Amino acid sequence: MRREEAIGSRDAEPSVTPVAVSRWSRTASAFTGACVVAVAIGVAVPYVIGGPAEQPLITLLTFIAVATLWNLLAGFSGLTSFGQQAYIGVGAYALYLVAEHGINPFGGIIAAAAVAAVVALPVSALVLRLTGGYFAVATLVVAATFQIIATLSPSVGGTTGVAVPGLAGYSDVLREALTYWATLVVAVSSVAGVYLLVRRTFGLDARAVGSDPVGAAASGVRVGRIRLLAYLVAAGGAGAVGALIALQTLYVEPTSAFSIQYSVDMLFMVLIGGMATIEGPIVGALVLFALQETLSAYGAWYLVIVGGLAVVTTLVAPRGLWGLASERFGWSLLPVGYLVRQPRTGTGRRGHDRE
């Protein structure tokens, strides 16, 4: 209190109400603890339950990874790419190529991520010139071009595709367990990586760029650099996911590697869960996983429902399920902003202002 008084007297102004700024909470500590426990249980799954639990969990973890990465791009930085399947495909083919050269396929996941990020660098120079819907369709064109290039390359099997080599030495049980663990590592590092990234100044800058690039540039944010970083991280992550998908299916083929279905899934999960939060894409991944498990027997109707829910959510609840919940109950399990509290005064009121 003494310090505020000192400042107040020097500036000859009434003393400023002192506020406490926090970036963390007890709930956040408890939730992070719960996450650590959940991951530890996740690591033990192949020992305890084995195969039957691994397959659905791999699907769920892949959903969480792609949704979180797309959220970094579209939710935080305002870059709605519908062409992330370009890097999923590049990752899958990169995994095939490194495995072909005798590198361990599981180690090849890192190489696949690196290759995808390197490929994204020249592409970003083209597509980041555009914004909004034009950016969206340009990324779609890039993905379509990559798919054509893959079909025209005999060295990767053209239209028929190629089987992933270098896995003959593993028993089925071990291979599936290793794929599961690798997926767990990619999903956890995507969520943790994006979380730590957006808690830095980058997060604030990215949200400024996403909501108003001109305003952000005027306040000194380096718009181009923020967009580039988000684009490269998302591409690298998509490359790792592509490598994982190749390891699960053991086969890489252009139509499925560059399928636009990946973009449909990403959009749906992030919209339903809530853009520009860390929890939202995870909620969205759980919703899509549940929908897929219950409705996939209905074939095309499942996707009609997915598309319809995406439209309705955008119009009715643009902040998604998690946005609704956190608005209503004040939940914030993984805070990315700043909580500003006024100390309890006579009225005992407490000001909330995240951000």
Partner 1 sequence: MTWVNAVIQGLLLGGLYALIACGLSLTFGVMRIVNLAHGDLAVCGAYLGLVLSSAAGVPVWYTLPLLLPAAFAAGVGLEVLLFGRALRHGVLAPVLVTFGLSVMIENLLQVAATADPRGLNGGALALGSFHLGSITVSWLFLTTFLTACVVLAGLQLALSRTSWGRKVRATSDDLDTARLVGIKVRPVFASVAGIAIGTAALAGVFIGTIGTFDPLTGTNILIFAFEAVVIGGIGSLWGTLAGGVIMGVTQVVVGEINQAYAVLAVNLVFLAVLTVRPGGLFTSHQTAGEIRGAGIGGALG
Residues binding partner 1 (CB under 8 A): 74, 78, 80, 82, 125-134, 136-138, 140-142, 144-145, 148-149, 151-152, 209, 213-214, 217, 222-228, 260, 264, 267, 271, 299-301, 303-304, 306-311, 314-315, 318
Closest CA to 84 of 184, 231, 255: 231
| 256 vs 342, beta carbon nearer partner 1 | 256
What's the closest the beta carbon of residue 227 comes to partner 1, in angstroms?
6
| 25 vs 155, beta carbon nearer partner 1 | 155
What's the closest the beta carbon of residue 303 comes to partner 1, in angstroms?
4
What's the closest the beta carbon of residue 132 comes to partner 1, in angstroms?
5
| 43 vs 137, beta carbon nearer partner 1 | 137
75, 80, 82, 85 alpha-carbon torsion, rounded to 10°: -50
What's the closest the beta carbon of residue 314 comes to partner 1, in angstroms?
5
Cβ atoms 90, 115 nearer than 8 A: yes
Residue 205, burial from CB neighbour count under 10 angstroms (0-12, 13-18, 19+): buried
What's the closest the beta carbon of residue 317 comes to partner 1, in angstroms?
11
| 8 vs 215, beta carbon nearer partner 1 | 215
- CB within 8 A of 106, min separation 6: which ones? 178, 182, 247
Rounded CA separation 116/108 (Å): 12
Cβ atoms 201, 79 nearer than 8 A: no
Rounded CA separation 134/114 (Å): 27
| 118 vs 137, beta carbon nearer partner 1 | 137
